[in-house]
Structure 1
Amino acid sequence: MKKILSVLLSLILLVSCSSTPEEKNSSSHFQTSQSSGETLKIVAGSENKELEPIIEEYAKANKQNIEIDYLGSLDIMRLLSDPDIAYDAVWPASSIWLNMGDTNHILKYQETTSQSPVVFGIKKSLAEDLGFVGKDVTVKEIIDAINSGKLKFTMTSATQSNSGASAYLGFLNALAADKNGLTSEDLANEDLQNEITSLLAGVERSSGSSNWLTELFLSGDYDAMVNYEQLVIATNKALEEEGKETLYLVYPVDGLSISDSPLAYVDKNDSAKEEAFKKFQEYLLSDEAQSQIEKTGKRSAYGTVREENRDIYKKDWGIDLDKTISPIRFPKAEVIMEALNMYQSEFKKPAFTIYVLDYSGSMGGNGGYEQMNEALEQVLVPENAKANLLLGTSKDLTYILPFSDMVLGELMASGNGEELDNLYQELSENYRPETATFMYEAIDEAISILKNNEDELKDYSPAIVVLSDGMPNGPMDFDQLKESYQSLGYDVPIFSILFGDARKEDLEEIATMSKARVFDGRSDMIKAFQNVKGYN
């Protein structure tokens, strides 16, 4: 869902850490009543939200309208293949996505605006217990800690978010035979495959967004998080304010990636727009703006931090600004894509997903039924899922519970091939919109499935995904659902896709209970389903 931010500082607070996931807007407009007439439209990674006060200040001082849409870095890469791209500039987390996406050579003036290493943030007491404090830590030592059962962590999806992709490529680089760059031969090596699978088995919750991962971490009781140094610093500030234990930053010495936050102009032969962009970029690279950027926890464009800003980067947290850090060398584009496909279909922890789908009568009258089928075709049909980097592993378990005034059936498929395709065909051919919306009862049935498979779940990433276009109107109430959910005794997110006249408050209540989030499917249900898969 998009919300508009004016240049009023009070509205900027909407993107503060106190916001709920759905309140975190995916678009920000910085407008002035005395604009120059040229609006800069920028698509940026979500980590750049931290810079909004700096951008707002520039917009007001220079009478410049700026519109920013926030997307994942991999989505930005895909946008660059569109010759009619609707943006004047792109600002992902890493230049690898520009190098891979700019096949039409439409970008100019690409410059690094800041740097932030991708690190492990581990509770200080646990980091001490693991022997990680005050020393260089290798990826192999991290794998040993995971294999011993001492370390679990949260991380963004490598196929949906730059921080996850960068960390994953760093891990692979450390495990590769040739440290000069990951190759296809490395990816085919059985020892590497076993080691990266062991490492990713330590992921206990995933996310499609680096910013939301920090919110998830702060809302739960997790031991560690893989994220940008900038966001681990922000997390530690919040933990300190709450009187909680802070995280110790571990920089994998043989598998470290750095986000270089490149800003580039999309050339459309518009000289006025080009000059507006160059002026904005020049400001971001100025001493004044760079110092402000450092205050957010990002290092400068040169990887350094001015003396007056160093107190933000605390040594007690494991940050040593005087230590030279050596990032990995990213592999060739074709190797990166091969690695991402293998992450999704072979290496990541398999998913145990239960789709709870609304087949109430209203789904037939508002186009919801057709849109839901189109979305499921993209997620469930293997060839479509693979094209969107959403194909699961051969061990995935997928359940579907269609419901109206009762659960209409229980469909199940294992793996990522023919069974999944058959499941989609059965859904599209045999189920039609019927009567009421017994949503709580259907979710309760999903919880029962999890309970019946409890022994298997330790090796899976479980999630429930609910799509509804109406208010729950069965005999079960939310308090009864909450009691059922809490009886699980472990962490399972219940994601919701909002559609039609569904009451957002009902879905947010479920998401808050399960440390999940609500996705808006009203304008693009296919994209909403794709986003959900990025969190599982």
Structure 2
Amino acid sequence: MEARKRKGRAALSLFLAGVLLLLSGCAGSGSRQPQGDPSKQQSFTSFGAGETIRILSGSENRELENVLKKCAEETKINIEISYQGSVDIMRDLEAGAEEYDAVWPASSLWISMGDQQHLVKHTESVSNTPVVFGIRKSLAQELGFVGQEVSVKDILAAIQEGKMSFCMTSATQSNSGASAYVGFLYALLGKEDAITLADLESSQLQQDMTRLLSGIERSSGSSEWLMDMFLEGDYDAMVNYECLVISTNQKLESEGKEPLYVVYPYDGLSIADSPLGYVDHGEKGKEEAFLKVQEYLLSDSVQNEIQRTGRRTGYAGVKEENKDIFKSEWGIDTERILSTITMPSSEVLTQALNLYQSKLRKPSLTVYCLDFSGSMIGEGNDQLVQAMAQVLLQENAEKNFLQAGERDVNLVITFDNGVIHTYEAKDASPQSLASLYKAVEEERPGGGTDIYLPAIEALREMRENYDLTQYTPAVILMTDGKSNGNMDFGDFQDFYLQEQMDVPVFSIMFGQAQESQLDELADLTNARVFDGREDLIGAFRSVKGYN
């Protein structure tokens, strides 16, 4: 590991969720409370007294919040929903999901693989949506994809010829990314029966998959946020749920912009079946309340309302009255029979995901800018060190499929009112990353706070030393206070726009951090802010899933 020390003004002359293996219901008024980031929770309170149902859900169900509000009103049941990533949903199920009364992930795989205690029952699919490519329509026409059957290998050819790139969620953090990845595996192998461990060892498969994933321009840990990011950026395509591509197109057209054209890879199509299941903690009243909510969501009128959001409620066709939502000019084919791939065994899925994370995905270039100002002395510093242990110490990172890939690059910039040190891991080996963690552990807080200086320094490190087209780059900035140094947002903005870099600056808010300052950085760089005030470790884990 190299340590390059820079301080004060001298620094001014020089800086993005199996899972198919891994990636709402009824809870009473008892003492069980959902854990995690409170900002992820929504509460829909009925007009009458009744049971409370707490649902652990994937982020894609945010689009059904109006449906849930009506459900709470009509059933007189209080509904609370907490949105989490795929790994967290699986982990909660493995631990018994004590804080929740129901689960509503994007795919049944999350329930079948996470519910090791067999607590989930009454599982029913609320809707389904295929995982598709949404490609700028003019580009889809140029590539010859409009009105044609398209294979994954056709898309790979376009990527290799430099004609297309795309955005996709992480296969180890998000159901849409995992579904797409497994579909890619089947297509590149040319298989219809289940994938085996021997198949994954194929050098040709690994070479083709590496080339395909090299086309990823931006990554995300959330399907919903991927849509928001796409709308704010200038990208060729994204892999996402058909329903979210429909939402994207509605917003694009309302702004007078070019829509996306939907492409269904015929040799690797995956489907999210949106199962809603009851988590049985032995409370009869809650089970009855859950069944009322589920019955409401599965009723004909509500199913029709759900279909109006762009989700399918069957595996063939949509109602005539809803075809205006599923526009054929967007490439959406409502007559297509949705036949999905056969999912491999849990053992094969685990190996496939580990292979993705450690070897096949586009390498990440991550610069951690860590606040070591005086206000971090004590508990703040302790929590920061513990959080970094979860992403840098590989025995911890592997538990959440966040282990470093063979070609990843990791740097740490420590700062107060100036840049203190810049540390770089020599490589992505566990030993080198452990040394990087040791440097963080040994750093001591003191001084004021300047968040803009280390962020500029991080971007400068990237620009001067790396070919960013070969990486998924990101700056991860963690701070616990208001920036009051010599630099301000205007200085950062001028640098960022002058350099014309498309590098997200993700922020983790802690302590008394000034949220408005972090929001400005996120808005400018098409990134987001994570709330680490209640769970700093969880925030670091979440943000690492975005690159």
Q: Report TM bin, short chain.
A: over 0.9
Residue among 508, 512, 516 paired with 1:505: 516
Q: Equivalent residues in 2 for 1:191-230 (5 A)?
A: 191-230=204-243
What secondary structure does 2:246 align onto?
helix
- For normalisation by structure 2, the TM-score amounts to 0.91
Give per-residue Cα distances to partners, 1:61-87, cap 9 Å, x unaligned: 121101111112332122111136211
2:210/2:361 contact within 8 Å kept? yes
Gaps of 5+ in 1: 1-22
Residue among 99, 118, 141 paired with 1:86: 99
More deviation, 466-475/79-88: 79-88
1:170/1:328 contact within 8 Å kept? yes
Hey, what's the Cα distance between the residues in 2 that align with 1:222 and 1:275?
A: 47
1:396/1:416 contact within 8 Å kept? no
Residue among 351, 355, 360 paired with 2:364: 351
Residue among 388, 391, 399 paired with 1:379: 391
Deviation at 1:203, TM superposition (A): 0.5
More deviation, 147-156/302-311: 302-311
Deviation at 1:334, TM superposition (A): 1.4
Deviation at 1:439, TM superposition (A): 1.8
Hey, what's the Cα distance between the residues in 1 that align with 2:350 and 2:301?
A: 38
Hey, what's the Cα distance between the residues in 1 that align with 2:240 and 2:105?
A: 15
Indicate the residue corresponding to 2:265 in structure 1: 252
Q: Equivalent residues in 2 for 1:4-19 (5 A)?
A: none
Indicate the residue corresponding to 1:19 in structure 2: none
Indicate the residue corresponding to 2:476 in structure 1: 465
Deviation at 1:140, TM superposition (A): 0.7
Indicate the residue corresponding to 1:8 in structure 2: none
Deviation at 1:405, TM superposition (A): 2.6
What secondary structure does 1:311 align onto?
coil
Q: Equivalent residues in 2 for 1:3-82 (5 A)?
A: 25-36=39-50, 38-82=51-95
4+ residue runs of structure 1 moved beyond 4 angstroms?
none
What secondary structure does 1:255 align onto?
coil
- For the pair 1:434 / 2:435, whether they are aligned, the reply is no
Deviation at 1:490, TM superposition (A): 2.4
Q: Residue 39 and residue 303 in structure 1: after superposition, are their counterparts in 2 closer, same or farther (change >3 A)?
A: farther
Hey, what's the Cα distance between the residues in 2 that align with 1:187 and 1:264?
A: 32
Letter in 2 for 1:198: R
Hey, what's the Cα distance between the residues in 1 that align with 2:254 and 2:444?
A: 51
Give per-residue Cα distances to partners, 1:502-526, cap 9 Å, x unaligned: 1000111111110000001111111
Indicate the residue corresponding to 1:527 in structure 2: 538
What secondary structure does 2:121 align onto?
strand
Hey, what's the Cα distance between the residues in 2 that align with 1:427 and 1:105?
A: 41
What secondary structure does 1:467 align onto?
strand
Indicate the residue corresponding to 1:313 in structure 2: 326
Q: Equivalent residues in 2 for 1:82-231 (5 A)?
A: 82-83=95-96, 85-231=98-244
Indicate the residue corresponding to 2:311 in structure 1: 298
Residue among 485, 492, 497 paired with 2:503: 492
What secondary structure does 1:32 align onto?
coil
What secondary structure does 1:80 align onto?
helix
Indicate the residue corresponding to 1:328 in structure 2: 341
Indicate the residue corresponding to 1:418 in structure 2: 431
Give per-residue Cα distances to partners, 1:429-477, cap 9 Å, x unaligned: 2x100111122111121121012124x2211111111111111121112
What secondary structure does 2:168 align onto?
strand
Deviation at 1:301, TM superposition (A): 4.3
Deviation at 1:324, TM superposition (A): 1.8
Q: Residue 379 and residue 479 in structure 1: after superposition, are their counterparts in 2 closer, same or farther (change >3 A)?
A: same
Deviation at 1:302, TM superposition (A): 4.5
Indicate the residue corresponding to 2:14 in structure 1: none
- For the pair 1:370 / 2:382, whether they are aligned, the reply is yes
Indicate the residue corresponding to 1:339 in structure 2: 352
2:132/2:265 contact within 8 Å kept? yes
Indicate the residue corresponding to 1:444 in structure 2: 456
Deviation at 1:176, TM superposition (A): 2.2
Deviation at 1:33, TM superposition (A): 4.1
Letter in 1 for 2:327: K
Hey, what's the Cα distance between the residues in 1 that align with 2:282 and 2:447?
A: 55
Give per-residue Cα distances to partners, 1:58-117, cap 9 Å, x unaligned: 111121101111112332122111136211110000001111111111111111110100
Letter in 2 for 1:467: M
Letter in 1 for 2:542: N
Letter in 2 for 1:299: R
Q: Residue 451 and residue 302 in structure 1: after superposition, are their counterparts in 2 closer, same or farther (change >3 A)?
A: closer
Deviation at 1:186, TM superposition (A): 1.2
What secondary structure does 1:418 align onto?
helix
Hey, what's the Cα distance between the residues in 1 that align with 2:283 and 2:317?
A: 35
Hey, what's the Cα distance between the residues in 2 that align with 1:301 and 1:87?
A: 28
1:246/1:317 contact within 8 Å kept? yes
Letter in 1 for 2:515: K
1:447/1:484 contact within 8 Å kept? no
- For the pair 1:275 / 2:273, whether they are aligned, the reply is no
Give per-residue Cα distances to partners, 1:459-503, cap 9 Å, x unaligned: 111111111111112111211111111222220000100011110
What secondary structure does 2:324 align onto?
helix
What secondary structure does 2:130 align onto?
strand
% identical equivalent positions: 51
What secondary structure does 1:424 align onto?
helix
Deviation at 1:25, TM superposition (A): 4.6
1:236/1:247 contact within 8 Å kept? yes
Letter in 2 for 1:328: I
Gaps of 5+ in 2: 1-36
Letter in 2 for 1:229: E
Letter in 1 for 2:40: S
More deviation, 222-231/27-36: 27-36
2:316/2:334 contact within 8 Å kept? no
Q: Which has the higher contact order (CA 8 A, sep 6+)?
A: 2
Root-mean-square deviation (Å): 1.4
1:253/1:326 contact within 8 Å kept? no
Hey, what's the Cα distance between the residues in 1 that align with 2:38 and 2:372?
A: 30
Hey, what's the Cα distance between the residues in 2 that align with 1:319 and 1:408?
A: 53
Q: Residue 520 and residue 347 in structure 1: after superposition, are their counterparts in 2 closer, same or farther (change >3 A)?
A: same
- For normalisation by structure 1, the TM-score amounts to 0.93
Deviation at 1:409, TM superposition (A): 1.1
Residue among 409, 412, 416 paired with 1:397: 409
Give per-residue Cα distances to partners, 1:4-63, cap 9 Å, x unaligned: xxxxxxxxxxxxxxxxxxx99511111124222x11111111111111111111111121
2:147/2:331 contact within 8 Å kept? yes
Give per-residue Cα distances to partners, 1:192-215, cap 9 Å, x unaligned: 001111111011000111111111
Deviation at 1:417, TM superposition (A): 2.0
Indicate the residue corresponding to 1:16 in structure 2: none
What secondary structure does 2:503 align onto?
coil
Hey, what's the Cα distance between the residues in 2 that align with 1:292 and 1:83?
A: 32
Deviation at 1:326, TM superposition (A): 2.0
